[in-house]
DNA sequence: TTGCAAAATTGATAAATATCAATTCCCTGA
DNA sequence: TCAGGGAATTGATATTTATCAATTTTGCAA
């Protein structure tokens, strides 16, 4: 089922997957000349908030959560980045430390581009800077949306939204099967901004209502339409 | 009282005030050649979410709230922009419609720069694009912080934070007097993401605790230190 | 396989927040 | 200056969400 016209999925996804692909060949070459690969196991941290950025990351394959940890150790997931997306450019561009941390949600392959190569290419390239401006501006839309949702919507609605968004991320384009979302209850709760228990209870409710099934920690989405109704984006 | 070392105020402010000032003279000239001025009365809308951007706005003097209105008409204030800040560039750069609306919180003077002049200058200028990349990346930090706070902190903490942030915005550098914050309870509630009644009750609590006084709708901050304690950023 | 530790689930209850209703308190324009 | 109306405040209560305490289930590693 496509979400087109039913749910504003573009307001929940960044758009950096398009950057590397659309770069003129010579700029791509400059950028990737010294790119090294790096394998992350599930749960491994790519970078940690408060540290100084050393490079730009490219998700060759996998899923990476971006999150903040507050003083009480509570984790808030801001975004889940997928294959093809870039990570870690904000801190380089703003010349600040990482505002958030990044860790693999599943086994992932990451390309690491040295900070200098990134900045150098940026100097010499109109396209890269144009595309970054565009992506960063789009991210603004995404984050502003998140703020409204966190500030105003109920936990149940936020869970529904999280499931719709995750479903897109876990979708296998080659398959017609219902999408299987594979994240821990803990990560799900940290995306939704609530406790594990609440999330579990609402999941059960959704299950009873026929929107999804669970199989261990895996969540199989059966009826996105109903989830969209619940999310508050119904009859958009 | 300065917040340095006590509260991360930079994580709550965008940084576009620096852009126009630091632009090379010829680029500034190109940008402002066709700038027209526009006077906004308190409450007047500068642009509305979902509409197509026509230009870039510069706050010559005043305060402008950026907010989203959801389906139920509930308003969420995302940010309060102050004198010197730029507005409305995201939608132009991402080639999307405005993700949020903007309205004057007080009588304001706005400079309007045609979209074409902005894009043209951007084409020809390294500085402008560099500074925008930096500002946009910093905004990411600000918004990510907001998300964590909305998702995890209590209304009381959020109110304390809102007051600390507003105090900075309403500060008169020429005066040593305690800062007077002049916003409606409604706007304050929409910043905090709660109802007016809750905000009023917590304000009363803060007042009783000696952190502030009220005078009609005006809020006079007496003890930021205590507010910082309450905000959850105490002993940062 | 099996046993175990971690993760998920369930239940009960406390705490926070939202909502509805009713006053009271300002501003502002006549 | 004063009356009217919107804004702010207060009170009472419903609803949502968080938290604590047990179980039960799962996924691994031996």
Written as six digits, the tokens of B37 are 């001025």
Which residues of chain B, if any, have pLDDT below 70? 1, 235-236
Helices (H), A62-215: 89-94, 115-124, 126-152, 155-170, 185-192, 196-208
* Whole-number pLDDT of residue A125: 84
Which residues in chain B are contacts of A74 at CB distance < 8 A? 152
* Whole-number pLDDT of residue A72: 85
List Cβ neighbours of B231 (8 Å cut-off, separation of 6 or more): B7, B157, B160, B161, B164
pLDDT tens for chain A, residues 1 to 236: 688 889 999 999 999 999 999 999 999 999 999 999 999 999 999 999 999 999 999 999 999 999 999 888 899 999 999 999 999 999 999 999 999 999 999 999 999 999 999 999 999 888 999 999 999 999 999 999 999 999 999 999 999 999 999 999 999 989 999 999 999 999 999 999 999 999 999 999 999 999 999 999 999 999 999 999 999 998 65
Beta-carbon neighbour count of residue A12 at 10 Å?
22
Q: Which long-range contacts (CB under 8 A, 24 or more apart) does B228-235 make?
A: B228/B3, B228/B6, B228/B7, B228/B160, B228/B164, B230/B156, B230/B157, B230/B160, B230/B206, B231/B7, B231/B157, B231/B160, B231/B161, B231/B164, B232/A70, B232/A71, B232/B153, B232/B157, B232/B160, B232/B161, B233/B6, B233/B7, B233/B8, B233/B161
Q: B133 CA to chain A: closest CA distance, Å?
A: 6
CA of B153: nearest nucleotide by C1' is C16
Find the Å distance, CA of residue A62 to C1' of nucleotide D30: 30
* Whole-number pLDDT of residue B15: 95
Q: pLDDT tens, B14-55?
A: 999 999 999 999 999 999 999 999 999 999 999 999 999 999
Q: Are A92 and A98 in contact (CB under 8 A)?
A: no
Measured from the CB, is A234 under 7 Å from any atom of strand D? no
Best residue of A47, A137, A199 to probe chain B, by most B CBs closer than 10 Å: A137
Cα distance between residue A117 and residue A140, in whole Å: 26
Q: Are A44 and A104 in contact (CB under 8 A)?
A: yes
Cα distance between residue A134 and residue B68, in whole Å: 21
CA of B196: nearest nucleotide by C1' is D8
* Whole-number pLDDT of residue B30: 94
**Inter-axis angle of helices B155-170 and B126-152, nearest 10:** 150
Q: Determine the length of chain B.
A: 236
Find the Å distance, CA of residue B88 to C1' of nucleotide C15: 41
* Whole-number pLDDT of residue B236: 57
Q: What does pTM read for this prediction?
A: 0.96
């Amino acid at each position: 089922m496509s979400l087109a016209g039913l749910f504003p999925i573009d307001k929940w996804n960044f758009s950096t997957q398009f950057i590397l692909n659309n770069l003129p060949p010579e700029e791509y070459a400059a950028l990737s000349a010294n790119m090294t690969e790096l394998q992350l196991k599930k749960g491994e941290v790519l970078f940690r908030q408060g540290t100084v950025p050393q490079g730009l990351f490219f998700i060759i394959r996998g899923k990476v959560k971006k999150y903040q940890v507050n003083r009480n150790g509570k984790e808030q997931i801001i975004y889940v980045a997928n294959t093809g997306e870039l990570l870690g450019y904000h801190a380089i561009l703003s010349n600040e430390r990482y505002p958030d941390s990044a860790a693999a949600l599943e086994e992932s392959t990451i390309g690491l581009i040295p900070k200098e190569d990134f900045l150098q290419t940026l100097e010499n390239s109109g396209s890269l800077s144009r595309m970054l401006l565009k992506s960063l501006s789009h991210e603004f839309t995404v984050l502003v949306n998140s703020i409204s949702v966190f500030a105003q919507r109920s936990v149940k609605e936020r869970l529904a939204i999280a499931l719709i968004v995750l479903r897109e991320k876990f979708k296998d384009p080659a398959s017609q099967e219902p999408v299987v979302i594979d994240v821990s209850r803990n990560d799900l709760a940290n995306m939704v901004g609530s406790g594990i228990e609440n999330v579990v209870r609402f999941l059960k409710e959704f299950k009873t209502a026929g929107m999804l099934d669970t199989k261990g920690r895996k969540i199989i989405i059966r009826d996105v339409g109903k989830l969209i109704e619940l999310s508050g984006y119904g009859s958009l």
